[in-house]
Amino acid sequence: MPEFASKTEGQPAQRCGQPDPHFDLGPSHDQKDPRDPTFCPVVRAGRPAQLRHRSRMMQLGYAEEDFRDKPVIGILNTWSELNTCHAHFRERVQDVKRGVLQAGGFAVEMPSLSVDESFTKPTSMLYRNLLAMEAEENIRSHPLDGVVLMGGCDKTTPGLVMGALSAGVPMIYLPAGPMLRGNYAGKILGSGSDAWKYWDERRAGNITDAEWLGIQGGIARSAGTCMTMGTASTMTAIADAMGLTLPGASSIPAVDADHQRMSAECGRRIVEMVWEDLTPNRIVTEAACRNAAIVAMATGCSTNAVVHLIAMARRAGVKLTLDDLDALGRVTPLIANVRPSGKDYLMEDFYYAGGLRALMKQLDERLDLSALTVTGKTMGENLEGAQVYNDDVIRPLSNPVYQEGSLAVVRGNLCPDGAVIKPAACDPKYHVHQGPALVFDSYPEMKKAIDNEDLDVTPDHVLVLRNAGPLGGPGFPEWGMLPIPKALIKKGHRDMLRISDARMSGTSYGACVLHVAPESYVGGPLALLKTGDTVRLDLPNRRLDMLISEDELARRRCEWKAPEPRFERGYGYMFSRHVTQADQGCDFDFLQTDFGRTAGEPDIF
């Protein structure tokens, strides 16, 4: 297994145990007792020296007895009326508050950027780093001793975790949980995966308008995230395996009563974490990141796990790389039989089969069980008693769904810094493939062409969409699962090799090579490819190349002209100046730990 680099300098400043001259502490106390109100400086916010602090708390309807000498717990809630994944969070926050109060804390809800996947334009990925910045500064600028992070929809997990890692206070992650399985006409439907499947059938003329409407209404039946092993379930499983959630919390369906109980337990536990001074830098270590990567591979994870896991690890000072992930993928069997990489089951079935704890128990000889978690116990202690209740859903290592892990990283003259493919979710005949490229410079151009039934295309062609990366999209949109041309759909074809510098939904499937780096918009080699050029994928040898001479590539490189900037002002301008490429996690350069020292506790006068 690969050895990750050790942590770098520039870790978040510690808040607990440091003297703070700006609050009136009252009588002196023994600083050595961690349950003493003076142990955490922000707890002292309950008795501020200045009248305005007390009066503003009372303006909210609180008496001093409500908050005096109690840990202040911020609940960062990403609920919004447009985020269907988090539709239940308006109620769940009350469960969290109940737990905080039971444990002797004082809870305050902090609304946070929702970055919903379904309605955010052009892509929620454009705003992941904005959520991370907001979370970090919300935590740092308010008198919070610890935080509960409420997320689940794709980018909310990495965004909230990245921000909280940089802020450095005790934190626990509360995952939204998957929605109930879809249903239409007696058939089980999976989020995203069946949307793509039945859309192709509709384009082929095999589905009526009435059937399409029924599928549309039946595929998403409750609050919660996609119930396939898409990006949402992948990222909450990663947070779970990293030790940032209560054990197995990521598997609980959103509308199950267990989810309410888990939410209240998050509230109780975060208060204890404050007294224990259990900060995230003690949890998100090299071992924790390795555990998370192994578990991700075993679940049939989304390709988006690569970008987010690298970004999250690097916020903790762990230099995780594409090559580390590829090495783990080669030796980690895929044992979660959950779509789209699995064949038959959805996340609800996964929960009933034992959930993530049961899957991790199957992997315990491959995991570092000494890793500390938010429970204050080790990963090994958290897995004690975990059982598999259906070994077709959670397979033993001796009977995997796929012998290698979920993802593979390829390199070559088309992607010198790497690209990602999901081998288990595509037709094996494309693992080694050579064919002529059919290149598109924009999504509208591609869409118009693939809907043309007279398009000159064969199953051997390689569809290519470029200018869809972090800068080109802009924001790295999920356009990488290029639709199969209608001319081929009508002949019964449902897969072909596709290449893009875009991402694709974690619920997607097919022979799609994604995250090509460096992206074409900045002059990466993908920008030099032309329609008709021969492209070769050799997955066993991890190669992706265009079969063009170096002299011809040099000539094309001289002719290439940089496109016009996407943004001239605002957040988009900042994004375009500071976002890193896909292989680096797409974080902002100035937010990474090796950029500089994290700001300490703000002054309060």
Question: Residue 533 and residue 546: Cα distance in Å, rounded?
Answer: 7
Report whether pLDDT(26) > 80: no
Report whether pLDDT(507) > 50: yes
pLDDT in the model for residue 23? 34
Question: What are the pLDDT digits (tens) for 229-284?
Answer: 999 999 999 999 999 999 999 999 999 999 999 999 999 999 999 999 999 999 99
pLDDT in the model for residue 543? 98
Q: What is the mean pLDDT of residues 18-24?
A: 34
Report whether pLDDT(33) > 50: no
Question: Residue 560 and residue 264: Cα distance in Å, rounded?
Answer: 57
Residue 434 backbone phi and psi in degrees, to 5: -135, 135
Task: Please check whether residue 158 is in contact with residue 175, taking contact to mean a CB–CB distance below 8 angstroms.
Answer: no
Tokens representing 327 are 């090495």
Tokens representing 169 are 């206070």
Which of 254, 272, 234 has its CA nearest to residue 105? 272
Report whether pLDDT(517) > 90: yes
- Share of the chain residues as helix, strand and coil, in percent rounded to the nearest 5: 40, 15, 50
pLDDT in the model for residue 311? 98
**DSSP 8-state symbol, 158:** H
**pLDDT band, residue 196 (cuts 50/70/90):** confident
Q: What is the number of residues in the chain? A: 605
Which of 97, 49, 44 has its CA nearest to residue 74? 97
Q: What is the mean pLDDT of residues 113-132?
A: 96
Report whether pLDDT(12) > 80: no
Report whether pLDDT(143) > 50: yes
Report whether pLDDT(27) > 50: no
Question: What are the pLDDT digits (tens) for 417-449?
Answer: 999 999 988 999 999 999 999 999 999 999 999
Task: Please check whether residue 533 is in contact with residue 437, taking contact to mean a CB–CB distance below 8 angstroms.
Answer: yes
The radius of gyration of the chain's CA atoms, rounded to the nearest angstrom, is 25
Which of 271, 227, 266, 228 has its CA nearest to residue 244? 266
Residue 492 backbone phi and psi in degrees, to 5: 95, 5
Question: What are the pLDDT digits (tens) for 454-496?
Answer: 999 999 999 999 999 999 999 999 999 999 999 999 999 999 9
- Domains of the chain from N-terminus onward: 41-180+222-382 (3.40.50.2300), 183-218 (no CATH), 409-559 (3.50.30.80)
Element housing 118 (H / E): none
Which of 89, 167, 145 has its CA nearest to residue 270? 145
Q: What is the mean pLDDT of residues 87-109?
A: 98
Residue 50 burial (CB count, 10 A): 13
Residue 304 burial (CB count, 10 A): 26
Say if pTM beats, i.e. exceeds, 0.75.
Answer: yes
Question: Residue 231 and residue 457: Cα distance in Å, rounded?
Answer: 31
Question: What are the pLDDT digits (tens) for 37-62?
Answer: 554 544 444 444 457 778 888 999 99
Which of 214, 212, 213, 234 has its CA nearest to residue 225? 234
pLDDT in the model for residue 36? 58
**Percent of the chain clearing pLDDT 70 (strictly above):** 92
**Percent of the chain clearing pLDDT 90 (strictly above):** 84
Collect all residues with Cβ–Cβ distance below 8 Å to 589 and sequence separation of at least 6. Answer: 578, 579, 580, 595
What is the secondary structure of 344-371 as a DSSP string? Answer: SB-HHHHHHTTHHHHHHHHTTTTS-TT-
Q: What is the mean pLDDT of residues 9-22?
A: 38
**pLDDT band, residue 25 (cuts 50/70/90):** very low
pLDDT in the model for residue 50? 56
Collect all residues with Cβ–Cβ distance below 8 Å to 2 and sequence separation of at least 6. Answer: 323, 324, 327, 328
Average pLDDT, the chain: 91
Q: What is the mean pLDDT of residues 563-577?
A: 96
Report whether pLDDT(219) > 50: yes
pLDDT in the model for residue 424? 87
**pLDDT band, residue 343 (cuts 50/70/90):** confident
